[in-house]
Amino acid sequence: MKSNSFEKYYGITTFGESHGKVIGVVIEDVKPGIKFPLEKIQSALDKRRPGVGTFSSTRKEKDELQVLSGIFEGKTTGMPICLLIYNKDSHSQDYEHLKDLFRPGHADFSYFKKFKIYDHRGGGRASGRETISRVVASGLVENILEDINIKIYPVKIGKFEVTEIDNSFQNELSWHDKTNYENLIEYLNNIKNEGNSIGGIVEVKIKNIPTGLGDPVFEKLDANLAKATLSIGAVKGIEFGYGFELAALKGNEANDAMDKDGFFTNYHGGILGGISTGNDLIFRFVVKPTSSINITQKTVTKDNKEVEFKSHGRHDTCIIPRIIPVAMAMIKLVLADALSYQKLIAGKKLQLTDYREAINKIDEDILIAIGRRQKISKLVGKFKRENKLQIENKDREEELLAKLKQKGKLWNIDKSLVVDIWNIIISESKKRQ
């Protein structure tokens, strides 16, 4: 099974281990001629990087992006794009004592049981470092997302919950409640000093999402978002809209009633039947406490001997700030896919018959407009004759033509075509006045 590929409209394959030589991604099916957004990708990588906040580990990789193929003179060529990052800060000796044991909370045990061999240094493929590839890949779909606006922020960290949202309140945790921020920091510092870790709940709010994204049954938008989000290490659950709280509501409370202007409420979180309704898309996911902690715990070795283990390596007290850019990347990839499929469906409708139908409609509209113009023009002639006014007014004709030429320029209509149309209109109306 190709489990390292996210095979959708934009196929990506990620490769590399935490303490191997590189982490990278191969991206196929990117349109040619797109400006390669190097700075944007680099800045997203910098946010995901460890060592950027008080509660992050102190690993200091620079995560500098290397372009191997598919980009020429700053633009995509339409060929497979291979991007990678060298692992410079890989202190493999830090992990020597872990060679034969299973770290609690990590993927060591299950990887070993499945493959009978695994790269124990820093978690190998199960490491958070694998997510670099996803952040890199998502940089290439930005242009598809147009004005879709994605916000991701924690609503709960440990025992603290956001009660008052103030979006202007910015900090390293993306915590939008200033009323309890200082207490939260003190709480996190205490956890850090104990050598312990903590998790939380992260909310995603997506605005300006078009209706119709997602497809029935196995390509439901919520199913695809769930898979993409749950594929991120340490993410353990997800709920859409009112989520698990729907269990306590009755039908008449949970249904989003509507009138001609739209839904009154958004308990459905912007998706019904796996397809976006155009309402804000809202979901939450839970992040478990960082597995590596500086506290002694019981575990076993590969030959099933009981041992005690305490992590001495570098670790994040709370990995939510580092998960946010990864979730952003995965959501962008899913939405870009859904939008691309949606465009394909729309494109299929546009057969020659559809174009002809559209032209016929426009021709009819032109005739209707000319008919209406003639009627008004006759009334103008009648008015002028009754009031003994001059029928022809050259100044006004010139003024009108100048205005039409200006409008023509705005709508990319050739000046000579504007003049031709105008001459026909004006001579016809003079004949019939």
Ligand X SMILES: Cc1cc2nc3c(=O)[nH]c(=O)nc-3n(C[C@H](O)[C@H](O)[C@H](O)COP(=O)(O)O)c2cc1C
Nearest residue to 400 (alpha-carbon basis) of 369, 426, 424: 426
Query: Could you say which of 45, 221, 319, 335 contacts ligand X (CB under 6 A)?
Result: 319
Query: Could you say which of 23, 45, 107, 140 contacts ligand X (CB under 6 A)?
Result: 107
Interstrand relation of 306-309 and 297-300 (parallel, antiparallel or unpaired): antiparallel
Nearer to ligand X, 47 or 384 (CB): 47
Nearest residue to 141 (alpha-carbon basis) of 323, 7, 39, 10: 10
Alpha helices in 49-166 (DSSP H): 108-115, 132-138, 142-145
Query: Could you say which of 8, 106, 192, 268 contacts ligand X (CB under 6 A)?
Result: 106
Stretch that binds ligand X, among 164-172, 316-324, 333-341, 344-352 (CB under 6 A): 316-324
Tokens (6 digits) for 56: 């992050």
Minimum distance between the CB of residue 337 and ligand X, rounded to whole angstroms? 21
Nearer to ligand X, 104 or 381 (CB): 104
Which distant-in-sequence residues (6+ apart) come within 8 Å of 201 by Cβ? 154, 155, 156, 284, 285, 286, 287
Query: Could you say which of 209, 320, 326, 328 contacts ligand X (CB under 6 A)?
Result: 326
Stretch that binds ligand X, among 90-98, 121-129, 277-285, 419-427 (CB under 6 A): 121-129
Do residues 45 and 63 lie in contact, with contact meaning Cβ atoms separated by under 8 Å?
A: yes
**Interface with ligand X in residues 193-252 (CB under 6 A):** 232-234
Cβ-closest position to ligand X: 128
- Full 3-state SS string of 208-240: CCCCCCCCCHHHCHHHHHHHHHHCCCCEEEEEE
Query: Could you say which of 12, 25, 101, 126 contacts ligand X (CB under 6 A)?
Result: 126
Nearest residue to 299 (alpha-carbon basis) of 136, 108, 431, 68: 108
Nearer to ligand X, 17 or 316 (CB): 316
Residue 133 in the binding site for ligand X (CB under 6 A)? no
**Interface with ligand X in residues 282-301 (CB under 6 A):** 288, 290-292
Tokens 């030959």 correspond to what residue? 303
Do residues 312 and 302 lie in contact, with contact meaning Cβ atoms separated by under 8 Å?
A: no
Stretch that binds ligand X, among 70-78, 184-192, 315-323, 355-363 (CB under 6 A): 315-323
Sheet holding 235-240, edge to edge: 160-161, 149-157, 200-207, 281-287, 235-240
Minimum distance between the CB of residue 313 and ligand X, rounded to whole angstroms? 8
Nearer to ligand X, 41 or 232 (CB): 232
Backbone angles phi, psi at 198, to 5 degrees: -150, 155
Interstrand relation of 65-69 and 235-240 (parallel, antiparallel or unpaired): unpaired
Stretch that binds ligand X, among 83-91, 123-131, 242-250, 351-359 (CB under 6 A): 123-131
Do residues 172 and 321 lie in contact, with contact meaning Cβ atoms separated by under 8 Å?
A: yes
Nearer to ligand X, 44 or 234 (CB): 234
For residue 78, the number of C-alpha atoms closer than 13 Å in the C-beta half-sphere is 3
Minimum distance between the CB of residue 38 and ligand X, rounded to whole angstroms? 21
Nearer to ligand X, 207 or 288 (CB): 288
**Interface with ligand X in residues 54-93 (CB under 6 A):** 57
Query: Could you say which of 13, 90, 127, 317 contacts ligand X (CB under 6 A)?
Result: 127
Task: Measure the N-to-C terminal CA separation of the chain; round to a whole number of Å.
Answer: 78
Residues contributing to the site for ligand X (CB under 6 A): 57, 106-107, 123, 126-128, 131, 232-234, 288, 290-292, 315-316, 319, 322-323, 326
